[in-house]
Structure 1
Amino acid sequence: MAGNLTTIGFDADDTLWQNERFFRLTQARFADLLADYVPSEALMDRLLAAERRNVGQYGFGIKGFVLSMIETAIEVTEERVPAAVIRELLAAGQEMLRHPIELMPEARDAILALARTHRILLITKGDLLDQERKLAQSGLGDLFDGVEIVSDKTAPRYGAIFARHGDGAERAMMVGNSLKSDVIPAIEAGAWGVFVPHDLTWELEHAEPPRAHARFAELCHLGELPDLIARLD
């Protein structure tokens, strides 16, 4: 049914290792710092709006997140935010950049199993230095046949990556926790898109699952991936 699938791409953040939980912890810290100025729910709405505005300029990742928090703090305090709060937000961002990697329980075993029979790629977006750091700390780097750190994930980009590292999108699969970034554009490029939900997903990554599409699949966890591919092949 899948034909001769040769190439499997994996997302990184919240697919192979934890990521969003550290953003949520920092958001809670942000809300505590500004509790005297605005209720938490309203603050999170303002922060999300800032992130939506800024993602085109700052890209995805911790640095853009910190800049959006600082911008939001300035706005909600009408430019009266104490310097100590700005210092705390910068410190929170630095802590996030230093945080050790926590692999998903099934990540290593799934990649090891599939690397014996398929070409394995890491395709992730975000800050170059931070993603390189996380990949180095993950212990998974030597298992990939190719690594692509991109500014955004689109159908043309997937098409180019799978052509460069594999046999084209038609013989490829993309696996990730984001419908918007990992699954839908990969399917649009002609690949399989496999959705592995994470219990925490950034609001800007939400989308409706394309359940009617013949090349869409959904798994509970990465441990189910080798069996899915065996059935498809």
Structure 2
Amino acid sequence: MSLTLGFDADDTLWQNEQFFRLTEARFTELLADFAEADHLAERLLAAERRNLARYGFGIKGFTLSMIETAIEVTEGRVPAATIGAILDAGREMLTHPVETLPHVPDTLERLAGEYRLVLITKGDLFDQERKLAASGLGDLFDAVEIVSDKSRATYERIFAQHGDGAERAMMIGNSLKSDVIPAIEAGSWGVFVPHDLTWVHEHAEEPAQAPRFRRLSHIGEVEDLLRQIG
């Protein structure tokens, strides 16, 4: 084997952000009597960012942030039934079927065995394990790392443990902030595969001048990239 290939999960291998958008729309409807949609979106995003250090990434933290926002915008007058509906919406997110993105299964099957494949994802442990099992992709990975956040140190540790170090690794994902930039900082290749929907917290400028940065249209182009870089 040569390179170790790290893959992000949510919105890289399967759909994820669309469920957050749908739930946020439902949240907006529930609070329509108390605040305008744009104001609610701003307050919810602020709560999510504020709570990342407490709850981490994922559906549970999102649900708690919705409840916190509902209490704030209603000045403590939010009906108990509305809180119940928010909790129901969060639970529904945990049961959505897993929809893999185009080219993902076939590409991973061809890469498995030739390269070390490592799934590197952040979020709630139980939810990520559920989605991986439901995706049918679990057996294709040599290792799975569910982390609280992604940083240069994260990639240095993972690629040293599951490969020949960061310089002999490539990280592939839809988030410039989490998947690409810190991997490049660690010495890896950082491959950006954009998704139509990406949480605003994950936005960042493309490191276009970085020698090990690449942008692809979809996962299926990874094989050609690997042939190009040797």
Note whether the superposition's TM-score is higher than 0.5.
yes
- Counterparts of 1:192 and 1:148, CA distance in 2: 18
Give secondary structure in 1 for the equivalent of 2:94: helix
- Counterparts of 2:91 and 2:227, CA distance in 1: 42
- Counterparts of 2:38 and 2:169, CA distance in 1: 41
Moved over 3 A (4+): none
Q: Which moved more, 1:160-169 or 1:108-117?
A: 108-117
Q: Counterpart amino acid of 2:136?
A: G
- Counterparts of 1:44 and 1:150, CA distance in 2: 27
Cα deviation code 1:103-158 (max 9, x no counterpart) = 00111111112113111010000000110000010000000000000000000110
Question: Alignment partner for residue 19 of structure 1, among 16, 28, 31?
Answer: 16
- Counterparts of 2:2 and 2:208, CA distance in 1: 20
- Counterparts of 1:133 and 1:45, CA distance in 2: 30
| Pair 1:145-2:142 in alignment | yes
Q: Counterpart amino acid of 1:33?
A: L
Cα RMSD for the two superposed structures = 0.8
- Counterparts of 2:2 and 2:17, CA distance in 1: 31
Instruction: Point out where structure 1 has 5 or more consecutive residues left out of the alignment.
Output: none
TM-score, structure 1 normalization: 0.97
Q: Counterpart amino acid of 1:18?
A: Q
Question: Alignment partner for residue 196 of structure 2, among 195, 199, 209?
Answer: 199
1:156-171 aligned at under 5 Å gives the runs: 156-171=153-168
Q: Aligned-pair distance for 1:159?
A: 0.3
Q: Aligned-pair distance for 1:5?
A: 4.6
- Counterparts of 1:180 and 1:164, CA distance in 2: 23
1:1-233 aligned at under 5 Å gives the runs: 5-233=2-230
Give secondary structure in 2 for the equivalent of 1:80: coil
TM-score, structure 2 normalization: 0.99
